[in-house]
Amino acid sequence: MLYQRDYYICNPYTKQFVHIPPSSRCLKEVRVGFICDPYYKEEVDLKQESNIQVDSDFRFAIVRIVPQLSDQYCSAFKFDAEIFSSEMGRWTQSVVDSPRDICLDSLDRSGGIAYNGMLYWWSAHDGFIIGLDPYYYSSNKHHDYYPAYFHSIDVPFIPNGYRFSHLSVSQGGRLRFCHFKNGVPVPSVCVWELKDDKGGQEWCCLTGYISLRPMVHQSLPYYEWGRHLVDSVVVLAFDPSNDDIFYLQFFDRVVACNIHEKKFKKTRLSIPCNSVVRFGRAVFPFVLPRWQTPLPRLK
């Protein structure tokens, strides 16, 4: 988990993997993100017939954001990023200029989220999401700030007592985030979705506040709620094939939550308690593709 500079790209469907050349810098902790173009594109013609086009020149990129060397939270308008792209075939280093002060140490450790050709991280300390275009920074020698290549997204106001839990992309291609409240006597979770309509960005609340009272009653007596819930309830992922479903780690069990029905259902899956809190995201959405995506040979 620490001082890591070796990375592998894996295709779980084909069970193939490729070893990425190690980064030249071995740092205690970095924030990592991965983005990959789709191997095939589905186009619909005027007759409403589907046409599948294979993109043999698809590309991928890995980003390492380097936190400031400090034992305390500190902010900066510039930060270092190491980027490996399939187009370059090697690690490149860039200085990213930000229009806003960012506390890099508070960026989500679970990994960057790929959305609309960019990688996004949530900053819990700053209260907004940052987005970076890895392909631009891996191939451009200039480090000037351009809004199209790096920008931030403000999130809706989160009431006191709620903490951010998860940033993800839905099956329909919308950016979503959840926040969780360890409230007594009613702990709850809320889901938001970003609407990119008519050139503007607006957050829409999908759920209101979903009470976790039914699940708590089945798991803990009343007097133990506050002591155990903080590190034992984590939003894991949204269902990759059903936008209405997201998954929670509820102590050592995985629970499916239906957004519209606001109902919970236990699954057969289990995760060791606190594993997500300690080590970041323990699961990720995965959909079996129509065609397998081959791992490209590196130059």
Q: Report the phi/psi class of residue 262: left, alpha or beta, with left for phi > 0 and alpha for psi in -120 to 50.
A: left
Q: Report the phi/psi class of residue 112: left, alpha or beta, with left for phi > 0 and alpha for psi in -120 to 50.
A: beta
Q: Is 255 inside a domain boundary?
A: no
- Report how far residue 267's alpha carbon sits from residue 106's, in angstroms, rounded to the nearest whole number: 32
Judge residue 200's burial from the number of C-beta atoms within 10 Å of its C-beta, 0-12 exposed, 13-18 middle, 19 or more buried: exposed
Mean pLDDT over the full length of the chain: 77
Residue type at 131 in one-letter notation: G
CB 30 within 8 A of CB 64: yes
Beta strands (DSSP E) in 23-156 are: 31-36, 40-44, 50-54, 60-66, 76-85, 91-102, 113-115, 118-123, 128-132, 150-154
Residue type at 17 in one-letter notation: F
- Report how far residue 99's alpha carbon sits from residue 89's, in angstroms, rounded to the nearest whole number: 30
Which residues have a Cβ under 8 Å from the Cβ of 259 and sit 6 or more positions away? Answer: 191, 206, 207, 210, 243, 244, 245, 246
CB 188 within 8 A of CB 211: yes
CB 217 within 8 A of CB 204: no
Structural domain boundaries enclosing 27? 1-38+58-154
pLDDT tens-digit profile of 116-172? 889 998 887 777 888 899 888 776 554 444 455 888 888 877 766 666 668 888 877
pLDDT value for 33? 92
pLDDT value for 22? 93
Q: Is 212 inside a domain boundary?
A: no
pLDDT value for 238? 87
Q: Is 196 inside a domain boundary?
A: no
Q: Is 20 inside a domain boundary?
A: yes
Task: Evaluate if residue 23 carries a pLDDT over 80.
Answer: yes
**What is the average per-residue pLDDT within 87-104?**
84
**What is the average per-residue pLDDT within 35-46?**
76
Q: Is 72 inside a domain boundary?
A: yes
Task: Evaluate if residue 34 carries a pLDDT over 90.
Answer: yes
Residue type at 282 in one-letter notation: A
The number of beta carbons lying within 10 Å of the beta carbon of residue 100 is: 13
Q: Is 79 inside a domain boundary?
A: yes
pLDDT value for 229? 57
Task: Evaluate if residue 180 carries a pLDDT over 70.
Answer: yes
For residues 121 and 275, which has the higher predicted lDDT (pLDDT)? Answer: 121
Q: Is 93 inside a domain boundary?
A: yes
What is the length of the chain? 299
The number of beta carbons lying within 10 Å of the beta carbon of residue 246 is: 26
The number of distinct structural domains making up the chain is 1
Alpha-carbon Rg for the chain in angstroms: 20
**What is the average per-residue pLDDT within 50-74?**
73
pLDDT tens-digit profile of 200-236? 678 888 877 788 777 666 654 444 555 555 556 778 8
Q: Is 28 inside a domain boundary?
A: yes
